[in-house]
């Protein structure tokens, strides 16, 4: 798996591939979908098929060198990674990978890997080579729980178009799981000053995987939102709370529209300092406010009917059962 971002760029999917799929960030995982675990991160493709420890450690191709996980080799920063990479003459096969599995420093280690990639962005081969993340394999019986965000294809001159393969993946996934996932065209960056472009075209979708119709089209889901600090009986101090006022259309959105509505909220307020740190709980609270119902003195009440929805980034990410059991306020 590879990681592409505005500040982590490469010009193709690697290995002469022109199609693939994109997984949701764990913050956007829906009920009945599995979170994706990670094992290690390499700033550049690391020939992991030949490495031990699920692709994270020693490379059998380099008989004169022993590769280790970065942290085991005492490499914990991007600067240290770069020095080690230069020491092995920029050999992709000899680079170390940052372990990002069940560690207290998972997030920091991943960030150092991203920084390392940024430090070599002007290297001759950096734009030619994708980054690499190792993840555990999943079984065929888990297809319906796999959080696929999109099937993608890239128009790469000199290589066959991946559109037909992406369409085929979309059709088979729909037939097997009943879940519709869009085909998205991805124009990859050709230089460090060019951004990737993602495009949805109706004509790219497979005719046997019909696009779902949305009955309640909303121009906007979020009318306004305001940060405030308030007491909470289960949280320490006065944590920040985002008081969200949905539009009338947003208040009546369907399940299909939840991801788009949350994306709108995040695009407007996700960069606010009060939003962080968020470990996925904000999305859970948001969805819960749309779906939770309870009993108030014999009368059924719905959380979506509240005038405002209060979301607190400090709340822990929990199982969906716990989120609903605790009335959208996990603690």
| pLDDT one-digit tens code per residue, 224-275 | 999 999 998 888 889 999 999 999 999 999 888 888 899 899 999 999 999 9
| pLDDT at residue 315 is higher than 90 | yes
Residue 57: which domain range? 19-204
If asked whether residues 98 and 37 sit together in one domain, one would say yes
> Is residue 6 situated within a structural domain?
no
Say whether pLDDT at 32 is over 90: no
- pLDDT digit string (tens) for 164-176? 999 999 999 999 9
DSSP 40-82: EEESS---GGGBSTTTTS-BTT-TT-----TGGGT--SHHHHH
284 and 195 share one domain: no
**pLDDT value for 214:** 67
Q: For residue 59, which of 3, 23, 10, 97 has the smallest C-alpha distance?
A: 97
Beta-sheet pairing, 240-246 with 222-229: antiparallel
Do 199 and 229 lie in one domain? The reply is no
The alpha carbon of 203 is separated from its chain's Cα centroid by a whole number of angstroms, namely 26
Domain co-membership, 277 together with 183: no
Are 230 and 316 members of one domain? yes
- Could you tell me if 183 and 259 lie in one domain? no
Residue 331 lies in a domain: no
The answer to whether residues 80 and 74 touch, using CB atoms and an 8 Å cutoff, is yes
* Number of domains, the chain: 2
Give 102-120 pLDDT, tens digit per residue: 888 999 999 999 999 999 9
Range 75-82, long-range pairs (CB < 8 A, 24+ positions): 76/105, 76/109, 76/112, 77/112, 77/115, 78/112, 78/113, 78/115, 78/116, 78/118, 78/119, 79/119, 81/43, 81/112, 81/113, 81/116, 82/116, 82/119, 82/120
Question: Under DSSP, is residue 310 helix (H, G, I), strand (E, B) or coil?
Answer: strand
| Residue 242 falls inside a structural domain | yes
Per the domain annotation, does 32 fall within a domain?
yes
- Same-domain check for residues 80 and 158: yes
Please check whether residues 200 and 73 belong to one and the same domain: yes
């Amino acid at each position: 798996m590879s990681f592409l971002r505005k500040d982590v760029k490469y010009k193709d999917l690697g290995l002469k591939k022109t199609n693939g799929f994109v997984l949701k960030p764990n913050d956007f995982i829906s009920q009945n979908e599995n979170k994706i675990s990670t094992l290690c991160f390499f700033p550049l493709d690391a020939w992991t098929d030949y490495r031990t420890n699920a692709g994270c450690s020693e490379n059998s191709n380099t008989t004169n060198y022993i590769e280790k996980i970065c942290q085991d080799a005492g490499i914990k920063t991007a600067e240290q990674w770069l020095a080690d990479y230069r020491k092995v003459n920029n050999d992709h096969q000899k680079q170390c990978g940052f372990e990002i599995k069940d560690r207290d420093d998972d997030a920091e280690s991943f960030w150092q890997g991203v920084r390392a990639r940024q430090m070599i962005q002007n290297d001759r081969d950096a734009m030619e080579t994708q980054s690499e993340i190792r993840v555990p394999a999943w079984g065929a019986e888990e297809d319906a729980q796999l959080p696929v965000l999109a099937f993608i294809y890239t128009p790469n001159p000199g290589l066959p178009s991946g559109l037909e393969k992406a369409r085929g993946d979309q059709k088979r996934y729909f037939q097997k799981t009943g879940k519709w996932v869009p085909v998205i065209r991805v124009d990859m960056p050709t230089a460090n000053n060019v951004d990737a472009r993602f495009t949805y075209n109706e004509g790219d979708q497979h005719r046997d995987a019909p696009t779902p119709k949305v009955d309640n089209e909303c121009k906007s889901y979020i009318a306004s939102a305001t940060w405030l600090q308030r007491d909470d009986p289960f949280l320490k101090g006065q944590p920040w709370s985002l008081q969200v006022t949905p539009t009338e259309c947003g208040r009546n959105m369907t399940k299909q529209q939840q991801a788009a509505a949350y994306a709108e909220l995040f695009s407007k307020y996700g960069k606010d300092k009060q939003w962080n740190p968020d470990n996925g709980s904000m999305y859970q609270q948001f969805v819960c406010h749309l779906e939770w119902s309870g009993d108030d003195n014999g009368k059924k009440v719905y959380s979506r009917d509240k005038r405002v929805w209060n979301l607190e980034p400090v709340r822990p990410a929990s199982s969906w059962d716990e989120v609903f059991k605790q009335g959208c306020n996990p603690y």
